[in-house]
Amino acid sequence: MTQFTPLASLAGGALIGLAAVLLMAFHGRIAGLSGILAGLLPPWAGGWGWRAAFLAGAIAAPALIVAYAGDAAVSFDSAVPAPWLIGGGLIVGIGVQLGSGCSSGHGVCGLARLSRRSIAATLIFMATTAATVFVIRHVLGGF
């Protein structure tokens, strides 16, 4: 069951927003994780160093929280089998490519800039998510 954690959620959202603002202020770049990751893969985009540092921080921060939070750590248990998670990740990756960006770039940065393209993309992301959850839980009787 999901725990209700409004303060931790607020702090996490604030940190995501701060990271997006700082990346824009210091590098003039949108904090879209799919674009940042894509720039690390061949053919390489410019700014390899900041891209690697951003992704390393995105991986290291949760690892540090889990390592030092003790009983307050968030559980990473999932009732969904690993092959389904891997398949879902691949489908999301294809969607990110088709949508020219991910929910971090469109949903966090694009909405803040009032980009019509990002508003449309975010609405499609959310509608697709709701439909997927409905189908898996109520049609297929899954998790």
Tens digit of pLDDT for each residue in 103-139?
888 888 888 889 999 899 889 889 988 998 898 888 8
What distances in angstroms separate CA 21 from CA 8, 75, 77, 113, one per listed residue?
20, 29, 32, 11
Tokens 């307050």 locate to 72
Q: What is the pTM of this model?
A: 0.71
Residue-wise pLDDT tens digits, 26-43: 988 888 888 888 888 888
Q: Are 51 and 36 in contact (CB under 8 A)?
A: yes
Residue-wise pLDDT tens digits, 62-111: 888 778 877 666 666 777 888 988 988 888 888 887 778 888 888 888 88
What distances in angstroms separate CA 133 from CA 3, 6, 9, one per listed residue?
18, 22, 21
